[in-house]
């Protein structure tokens, strides 16, 4: 109940911010239009949560009949994990991007989808992929997916509306706030939207890590996967679709855009080392993530460390 209340409060704050931007652009009429737009966006996001984001990333649905053995095995493993979690089997999608990463979407467990980048299948071993997909299924089980998709939609719209106000309305002195208000709006509105977006995302990642560890029964594998994904993402492997749609970055298991050194106000995800430490506590504490490597130490990204199903 507390999580639902917090989510409702944060989404209400995003909607209020969107309406406020409309007021600063065009006064009461702009506020009314913005409110109608917010209601419409929320409705569209609710009924089409999975389709919106999957289309952004050019995701292709795959299943156990796929001609590629690697993809076919991946889809089968996702279905096995969902059965273990007591969830309806989600649709499984593949994104043509070399950066290993993944996300889940959908308005509820009955209409859920999980998506993985092609790089995830190629660069992680099978245990690690299980850990990642169990994490995404935990998001589905916790009903995080709708909130994360609606947040991405509204946050992106706020940034677009603020840019519109700056470039097309900066000389309108009769508008509420005037020129100074327009400049402040263009700078502060996207920042405020990002802060709300981050507040929604970060606390949910810890919950999904714990839930994923429970579903897979292997917290060490998820910890190892997080470290590898982080290393690839920070090593110059660019996710071009995510760069074009930065408002969706909080949906991924690891931020696909840029690294963050610690849990701070401007990070969309908790620091990876903190997540790994929490997972290792679940595994009994002090144990190695892989081999003799201790939690919190980055897993080296070398050809020998890559999957696909080693």
Which residues are catalytic, by number? 136
C-alpha span between 102 and 205 (Å, rounded): 13
C-alpha span between 91 and 279 (Å, rounded): 27
Q: Residue 258: exposed, middle, or buried by beta-carbon count in 10 A (0-12, 13-18, 19+)?
A: exposed
- The 10 Å CB-count burial string (b at 16+, else e) for 259-272 is ebeeeeeebbbbbb
Q: Please give the helix or strand (H or E) that residue 94 lies within, else none.
A: strand 91-95
Task: Please provide the size of the chain in residues.
Answer: 310
CB 261, CB 271: distance < 8 Å: yes
């Amino acid at each position: 109940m507390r999580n639902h209340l917090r989510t409702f409060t944060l989404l209400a704050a995003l909607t209020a911010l969107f309406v406020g931007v409309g007021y600063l652009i065009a006064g009461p009429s702009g506020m009314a239009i913005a409110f109608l737009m917010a209601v419409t966006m929320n409705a569209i996001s609710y009924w089409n949560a999975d389709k919106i984001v999957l289309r952004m990333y050019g995701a292709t649905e795959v299943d156990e009949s796929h001609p590629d053995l690697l993809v076919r095995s991946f889809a089968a493993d996702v279905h096995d994990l969902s059965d273990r979690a007591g969830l309806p089997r989600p649709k499984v999608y593949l994104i043509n991007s070399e950066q290993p990463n993944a996300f889940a979407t959908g308005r509820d467990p009955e209409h859920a989808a999980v998506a993985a980048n092609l790089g995830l299948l190629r660069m992680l071993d099978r245990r690690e992929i299980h850990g990642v997909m169990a994490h995404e299924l935990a998001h589905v089980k916790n009903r995080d997916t709708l909130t994360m998709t609606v947040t991405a939609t509204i946050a992106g719209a706020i940034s677009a509306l603020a840019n519109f106000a700056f470039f097309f309305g900066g000389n309108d002195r009769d508008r509420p706030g005037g020129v100074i208000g327009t400049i402040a709006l263009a700078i502060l509105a996207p920042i405020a939207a990002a802060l709300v977006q981050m507040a929604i995302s970060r606390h949910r990642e810890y919950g999904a890590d714990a839930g994923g560890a429970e579903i897979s029964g292997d917290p060490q594998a998820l910890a190892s996967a997080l470290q590898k994904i982080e290393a690839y993402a920070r090593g110059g492997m660019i996710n071009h679709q995510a760069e074009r749609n930065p408002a969706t970055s909080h949906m991924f298991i690891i931020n696909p855009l840029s690294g963050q050194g610690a849990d701070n106000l401007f990070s969309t995800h908790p620091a990876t080392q903190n997540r790994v430490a929490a997972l290792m506590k679940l595994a009994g504490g002090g144990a190695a993530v892989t081999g003799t490597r201790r939690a919190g130490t980055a897993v080296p990204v070398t050809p020998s460390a890559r999957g696909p199903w080693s």
